[in-house]
Amino acid sequence: MNKKIGIVVGSLRKDAFSLKVAKTFASLIPEGYDVEWIETADLPLFNDDLDTSGQTPASWTRLRELVPTLSGVVFVTPEFNRSIPASLKNALDIGSRPMGKNSWNGIPAQIISQSPGNIGGFGAAQDLRKVLAFLNMPTVTQPEVYLSKSMDLFAGDEMVAGTKGFLQKVADNFIKFIDLNSK
Protein backbone atom coordinates (compact mmCIF):
# COMPACT_ATOMS: atom_id res chain seq x y z
CA MET A 1 0.00 0.00 0.00
CA ASN A 2 1.38 3.40 -1.01
CA LYS A 3 2.04 6.15 1.49
CA LYS A 4 -0.01 9.32 1.03
CA ILE A 5 1.28 12.88 0.71
CA GLY A 6 -1.31 15.59 1.32
CA ILE A 7 -1.09 18.85 -0.56
CA VAL A 8 -2.78 22.01 0.73
CA VAL A 9 -2.94 24.99 -1.60
CA GLY A 10 -3.29 28.28 0.27
CA SER A 11 -4.98 30.16 -2.57
CA LEU A 12 -8.58 29.58 -3.61
CA ARG A 13 -8.16 31.27 -7.01
CA LYS A 14 -8.74 28.80 -9.90
CA ASP A 15 -5.63 29.94 -11.81
CA ALA A 16 -3.47 30.59 -8.75
CA PHE A 17 0.30 30.43 -9.03
CA SER A 18 0.28 28.34 -5.83
CA LEU A 19 -1.93 25.76 -7.53
CA LYS A 20 0.41 25.61 -10.53
CA VAL A 21 3.40 25.16 -8.24
CA ALA A 22 1.53 22.48 -6.27
CA LYS A 23 0.62 20.56 -9.43
CA THR A 24 4.25 20.62 -10.54
CA PHE A 25 5.39 19.46 -7.09
CA ALA A 26 2.79 16.65 -7.14
CA SER A 27 4.21 15.41 -10.45
CA LEU A 28 7.64 15.10 -8.81
CA ILE A 29 6.54 12.78 -5.99
CA PRO A 30 8.13 9.35 -6.59
CA GLU A 31 6.43 5.99 -7.02
CA GLY A 32 5.27 4.47 -3.77
CA TYR A 33 3.44 7.65 -2.78
CA ASP A 34 -0.01 8.88 -3.70
CA VAL A 35 -1.02 12.53 -3.65
CA GLU A 36 -4.14 13.55 -1.70
CA TRP A 37 -5.40 17.05 -2.42
CA ILE A 38 -6.70 18.63 0.79
CA GLU A 39 -9.66 20.82 -0.12
CA THR A 40 -10.11 24.01 1.90
CA ALA A 41 -12.62 26.03 -0.14
CA ASP A 42 -15.66 24.26 1.32
CA LEU A 43 -14.67 24.58 4.99
CA PRO A 44 -16.96 26.95 6.92
CA LEU A 45 -15.04 29.30 9.20
CA PHE A 46 -14.06 27.61 12.43
CA ASN A 47 -16.52 28.21 15.25
CA ASP A 48 -16.21 26.04 18.35
CA ASP A 49 -19.97 26.30 18.90
CA LEU A 50 -20.55 24.05 15.89
CA ASP A 51 -18.45 21.25 17.42
CA THR A 52 -19.94 21.50 20.91
CA SER A 53 -23.55 21.61 19.70
CA GLY A 54 -23.24 18.48 17.57
CA GLN A 55 -23.59 20.45 14.33
CA THR A 56 -20.09 19.70 13.04
CA PRO A 57 -19.98 20.36 9.29
CA ALA A 58 -19.35 17.26 7.15
CA SER A 59 -16.39 19.02 5.49
CA TRP A 60 -14.71 19.43 8.91
CA THR A 61 -15.17 15.72 9.61
CA ARG A 62 -13.76 14.86 6.16
CA LEU A 63 -10.63 16.93 6.85
CA ARG A 64 -10.16 15.55 10.37
CA GLU A 65 -10.45 11.96 9.11
CA LEU A 66 -8.15 12.45 6.10
CA VAL A 67 -5.22 14.20 7.77
CA PRO A 68 -4.15 11.39 10.17
CA THR A 69 -3.94 8.96 7.21
CA LEU A 70 -1.19 11.03 5.59
CA SER A 71 2.54 10.33 5.75
CA GLY A 72 3.35 13.99 5.10
CA VAL A 73 1.79 17.30 4.09
CA VAL A 74 3.04 19.92 1.63
CA PHE A 75 1.72 23.45 2.09
CA VAL A 76 1.96 25.65 -1.03
CA THR A 77 0.96 29.18 -0.18
CA PRO A 78 0.94 32.72 -1.47
CA GLU A 79 1.56 35.62 0.85
CA PHE A 80 -1.44 37.74 1.81
CA ASN A 81 -0.52 40.92 3.69
CA ARG A 82 2.76 39.38 4.96
CA SER A 83 1.00 36.28 6.29
CA ILE A 84 -0.94 33.18 5.24
CA PRO A 85 -4.36 33.22 3.56
CA ALA A 86 -7.43 32.86 5.78
CA SER A 87 -8.49 29.61 4.08
CA LEU A 88 -5.19 27.96 5.03
CA LYS A 89 -5.32 29.13 8.65
CA ASN A 90 -8.95 28.01 8.86
CA ALA A 91 -8.05 24.48 7.69
CA LEU A 92 -5.24 24.28 10.25
CA ASP A 93 -7.58 25.46 13.03
CA ILE A 94 -10.32 22.99 12.08
CA GLY A 95 -7.86 20.09 11.96
CA SER A 96 -6.48 20.99 15.38
CA ARG A 97 -9.88 20.66 17.09
CA PRO A 98 -11.73 19.58 19.10
CA MET A 99 -9.32 20.30 21.93
CA GLY A 100 -7.02 17.35 22.50
CA LYS A 101 -7.67 15.82 19.06
CA ASN A 102 -5.13 17.55 16.83
CA SER A 103 -5.31 15.73 13.47
CA TRP A 104 -2.06 17.38 12.33
CA ASN A 105 -0.04 16.07 15.31
CA GLY A 106 3.31 14.57 14.32
CA ILE A 107 2.81 14.67 10.55
CA PRO A 108 5.94 15.84 8.67
CA ALA A 109 5.46 19.06 6.68
CA GLN A 110 7.08 20.93 3.81
CA ILE A 111 6.43 24.64 3.21
CA ILE A 112 6.60 26.17 -0.26
CA SER A 113 5.73 29.84 -0.53
CA GLN A 114 5.51 31.95 -3.66
CA SER A 115 4.87 35.55 -4.54
CA PRO A 116 5.00 37.80 -7.57
CA GLY A 117 7.28 40.00 -5.45
CA ASN A 118 10.99 39.68 -4.73
CA ILE A 119 10.88 37.96 -1.35
CA GLY A 120 8.91 34.92 -2.46
CA GLY A 121 6.34 34.80 0.30
CA PHE A 122 8.88 34.83 3.13
CA GLY A 123 6.38 36.37 5.59
CA ALA A 124 3.76 33.72 4.83
CA ALA A 125 6.28 30.89 5.21
CA GLN A 126 7.50 32.19 8.55
CA ASP A 127 3.98 32.64 9.93
CA LEU A 128 3.02 29.18 8.69
CA ARG A 129 6.15 27.70 10.31
CA LYS A 130 5.04 29.14 13.69
CA VAL A 131 1.58 27.58 13.39
CA LEU A 132 2.97 24.20 12.32
CA ALA A 133 5.39 24.21 15.26
CA PHE A 134 2.48 24.75 17.65
CA LEU A 135 0.57 21.90 15.96
CA ASN A 136 3.59 19.62 16.53
CA MET A 137 4.32 19.06 12.85
CA PRO A 138 8.01 18.44 12.21
CA THR A 139 8.81 20.80 9.33
CA VAL A 140 11.65 20.74 6.82
CA THR A 141 14.03 23.56 7.68
CA GLN A 142 16.42 23.24 4.72
CA PRO A 143 16.10 23.97 1.95
CA GLU A 144 13.65 26.78 2.56
CA VAL A 145 11.47 27.36 -0.50
CA TYR A 146 10.57 30.95 -1.35
CA LEU A 147 9.66 31.27 -5.03
CA SER A 148 9.81 34.90 -6.12
CA LYS A 149 8.48 36.46 -9.32
CA SER A 150 5.95 33.65 -9.66
CA MET A 151 4.62 35.05 -12.94
CA ASP A 152 8.01 34.18 -14.48
CA LEU A 153 8.11 30.57 -13.19
CA PHE A 154 5.98 29.18 -16.00
CA ALA A 155 5.97 29.05 -19.77
CA GLY A 156 2.28 28.41 -20.34
CA ASP A 157 1.39 25.67 -17.84
CA GLU A 158 4.92 24.24 -17.71
CA MET A 159 7.32 25.29 -14.97
CA VAL A 160 10.70 26.51 -16.20
CA ALA A 161 13.40 23.84 -16.02
CA GLY A 162 15.63 25.45 -13.38
CA THR A 163 12.82 25.88 -10.87
CA LYS A 164 11.40 22.45 -11.64
CA GLY A 165 14.85 20.93 -11.02
CA PHE A 166 15.04 22.73 -7.68
CA LEU A 167 11.57 21.46 -6.72
CA GLN A 168 12.65 17.91 -7.62
CA LYS A 169 15.44 18.22 -5.05
CA VAL A 170 12.92 19.57 -2.53
CA ALA A 171 10.56 16.63 -3.21
CA ASP A 172 13.40 14.09 -2.85
CA ASN A 173 14.49 15.73 0.39
CA PHE A 174 10.92 15.72 1.73
CA ILE A 175 10.57 11.98 1.11
CA LYS A 176 13.76 11.40 3.15
CA PHE A 177 12.40 13.72 5.85
CA ILE A 178 9.17 11.74 5.99
CA ASP A 179 11.12 8.50 6.42
CA LEU A 180 13.13 10.05 9.28
CA ASN A 181 10.07 11.50 11.00
CA SER A 182 7.42 8.82 10.46
CA LYS A 183 5.17 8.06 13.40
What pLDDT digit, counting tens, does each position of 17-58 carry? 999 999 999 999 999 999 999 999 999 999 999 988 779 999
CA angle 48, 49, 52 (to 5 degrees): 90
Report pLDDT for 54.
76
d(CA 22, CA 132): 19
- Whether 34 contacts 66, CB under 8 Å: no
The H-assigned helical ranges of 114-160 are 122-134
Task: Quote the pTM value.
Answer: 0.96
Instruction: Please give the residue range of the domain that contains residue 67.
Output: 3-181
Domain tally, the chain: 1
The CATH number of residue 87's host domain is: 3.40.50.360
